[in-house]
Amino acid sequence: MKKIIALLMVVAMVFCFAGCGAKETVVVGYTEYAPMNYFDENNNLVGFDTELATAVFENLGYEVVFQKIEWDNKYTDLNAGTIDCVWNGFTCNTADDDGVARADKVDFSYNYMENRQVIVVKKDSGIAKAEDLKGKTAAAENGSVGADYAATFEGVTIKGCTKQTDCLMEVNALTADFAVLDAQLAKTYCGKGNYADLMIVDDLSSDVEYYAIGFKKDSELTAKVNEQLVKLAEDGTIKTIAEKYEVINTTILDYSDQIK
């Protein structure tokens, strides 16, 4: 009997330790584009957002899982609990095309990066000013700020794409006259490789935007992530990641004016 009791105690302790050692999982929703979230030559998910999200959640004791989403479904996925946050160049200081401010739909973290919407064209397109866009077709990601910005130009037809990199392909294939993209993505691709013939029309860029991490309303993660952003800025981690992915000029390294 004593041996049986001792064995049961050992089994109980094993289960206890296994339960205590298990990490809670946090699911990060993303779309694929450099330099924020993309796969390297070894098929590893890398990028500024990928590394920063990993650093933040590992510091908080979570196991991080990255879940690829369609951008147009981000609110549905977030509210359904399929993902715990959207961390993927999520512009926070704007409204969607339904007129509702994004900040009314989700809880946003502190702003961590500046961005703009830019116009990308073929180098020989002749497009240089807003008047040149009239009657043209714009490629823009569905549900994106880029699509909203494209609609501000008179006489433009918008061709919706599943992801931002598809917009570049449309311009390359001459199935769209120009693309509207995040500046971070456009600067990474334009003038290089398959997109060597593409360029940004600087004079047609939007006003400054800000990236933030989006959480379901009243999520406990928002405050925790904000605290980590401050800590990782102070210890130089964010600066190191930003330098690695060449986004140091637009990355926010001081959160003192955002702390309430």
State the average pLDDT over residues 95-102.
92
Residue 134 maps to a domain: yes
Q: Please tell me the predicted confidence (pLDDT) of residue 10.
A: 41
Q: What's the pLDDT score for residue 97?
A: 83
Q: Which two tokens stand for residue 172?
A: 């390359």
Amino acid 220: pLDDT: 96
One domain for residues 82 and 108: yes
The 10s digit of each residue's pLDDT in 172-223 is: 999 999 999 999 899 999 999 999 999 999 999 999 999 999 999 999 999 9
Q: Is residue 68 part of a domain?
A: yes
Domain that holds residue 26: 21-114+210-244
Indicate if 227 and 175 belong to the same structural domain: no
Q: How much of the chain exceeds pLDDT 70, in percent?
A: 92
What's the number of domains the chain is made of?
2
Whole-angstrom distance, CA of residue 96 vs CA of residue 151: 12
Q: What integer best gives the mean pLDDT of the chain? A: 92
Query: If you search the block for the tokens 């009314």, which residue do you land on?
Result: 104
**Whether residue 196 sits in one domain with residue 234:** no
Encoding tokens for residue 231?
Answer: 């800590």
Report, as an integer, the average pLDDT of 19-29: 81
pLDDT band at 12 (very low <50, low <70, confident <90, very high): very low
Q: Tell me: pLDDT of 11 over 90.
A: no
Q: Listing from the earlier edge strand, what are the strands of the sheet with 117-122? A: 157-161, 137-141, 178-182, 117-122, 198-201
- Tell me: do 132 and 70 sit in the same domain: no
Residues 6+ positions from 82 with CB-CB distance below 8 Å: 27, 29, 67, 69
pLDDT at residue number 7: 44
| pLDDT for the residue numbered 21 | 56
Largest CA-CA distance found in the chain, in angstroms, rounded? 90
Q: Are residues 52 and 160 in the same domain?
A: no
Looking at the chain, the whole-number percentage of residues with pLDDT higher than 90 is 89
Same domain, 105 and 225: yes
Report the range of poorest mean pLDDT among 19-33, 102-116, 124-138, 210-224: 19-33
The span from the CA of 92 to the CA of 210, in Å, is: 6
Statement: residue 18 has pLDDT above 60: no
Q: Among 14-23, 99-108, 174-183, where is mean pLDDT lowest?
A: 14-23
pLDDT(135) > 80: yes
Question: Each residue of 62-79: pLDDT tens digit?
Answer: 999 999 999 999 999 999
CATH number assigned to the domain comprising residue 164: 3.40.190.10
pLDDT digits (tens, 9 = 90+) for 49-59: 999 999 999 99
Task: Report the first-to-last Cα separation within the chain, whole angstroms.
Answer: 62
Full-model pTM:
0.82
Whether residue 3 lies inside any domain: the answer is no
At 23 the pLDDT is 81
